[in-house]
Amino acid sequence: QKVVEGDVAMISNQIVNRADAKISPNDPYQNRTNQSKNNDEFLMKYIDVDKDASTFSSSSADLWLDNPENKKIVYAGLYWSATYVYNTGSSPKINQFVAIDASRDRIDQVKIKLPNQSAYQDIKGQVLFDGIQNKEWKETAPYVVYADVTKLLQSQNQINGAYTIANVRATNGRISGGVAGGWSLFVVYQDTNASAKFITTYDGFVGVTKKAVDIPFSGFPMLPEGEIKAKIAGAALEGDLNLKGDQILFKTDQSKDFEE
């Protein structure tokens, strides 16, 4: 929790995508129609955009803040997450899933390349959740790892630009429910031209199936009077376009109904 004259920003990208004989995982899946497929209908493989033989997965996202010369990084947290039962799986029959490569490697180590940097830096994170240790999640084994990268970003002269994350582990091929994986970089920055804000971050993982899950937030200091503006940022591991019910709703204790 911190009071900052500034704001927050968040960038993200996925680390796996559909692949076949004609289409590379590096080519975005752009179908936004009612005929778009879900991830469990595809053979999934790593995205690897960096043309670096030392990485097996990589993807980038751009952070662009206006007037970056007036901004200073106060906090930066990197999260990565995926479904990772084993390295490679297949589905020889409908609703039958088998391992091709049953090994499973470390999930707490990735690489980051900052704007205008040619080399990666190694990042070791803290495992917040690992479904491989939970019977309820044994078929998909989702995990979440977190790393505080504040000092790393503060050491750079340039905030804006492309951030590349590499070597995020995920199952390749097919698993029950489909393969998903990606990363998010959450940034808090100071800007003396901005209003003061009370900023809080929460770490964790919750699995949502057919039943909605309540996530309570509390402990926020409130202004005694005047308009209060709130902003919420979060990340979802999977959210297929044509699956109904994937949504986040918000309400206060005084609100009667939830709002999107």
Span 233-242, average pLDDT: 82
Q: Place 153 in a pLDDT band, splitting at 50, 70 and 90.
A: very high
pLDDT computed for residue 131 by the predictor: 94
What end-to-end distance do the CA atoms of the chain give, in Å? 25
In the chain, pLDDT over 90 holds for what percent of residues? 56
pLDDT tens per residue across span 45-57 = 999 999 899 999 9
pTM to 2 decimal places: 0.92
Rank 162-176, 203-217, 242-256 by mean pLDDT and report only the highest: 162-176
- Looking at the DSSP bridge assignments, the partners of residue 2 are 199
Span 239-247, average pLDDT: 74
pLDDT tens per residue across span 66-110 = 999 999 999 999 999 999 999 999 999 888 899 999 999 999 999
Pairwise CA distance, residues 35 & 242, whole Å = 8
Span 133-160, average pLDDT: 93
Q: Is the pLDDT of residue 10 over 80?
A: yes
pLDDT tens per residue across span 187-226 = 999 998 988 888 888 888 988 877 888 888 877 777 777 7
Can you state the percent helix, strand and coil of the chain, rounding each to 5?
5, 35, 55
Instruction: Return mean pLDDT, the chain.
Output: 90
Q: Is the pLDDT of residue 65 over 90?
A: yes
pLDDT computed for residue 249 by the predictor: 84
pLDDT computed for residue 250 by the predictor: 85
User: In sequence order, what are the residues at sequence separation of 6 or more whose Cβ sits closer than 8 angstroms to the Cβ of residue 234?
Assistant: 248
What is the per-residue burial (b if ≥16 Cβ within 10 Å, else e) of 110-148? bbbbbbeeeebeebebeeebbbeeeeebeebbbbbbbbe
Pairwise CA distance, residues 17 & 235, whole Å = 18
Q: Is the pLDDT of residue 17 over 90?
A: yes
Tell me the pairing of strands 126-130 and 181-191.
unpaired
Q: Measured at the alpha carbon of residue 164, what is the angle toward residues 12 and 247, in degrees to the nearest 5?
A: 10
What is the per-residue burial (b if ≥16 Cβ within 10 Å, else e) of 214-232? eeeeeeeeeeeeeeeeeee
* Three-state secondary-structure class, residue 4: strand
Span 129-154, average pLDDT: 94
pLDDT tens per residue across span 154-165 = 998 899 999 999
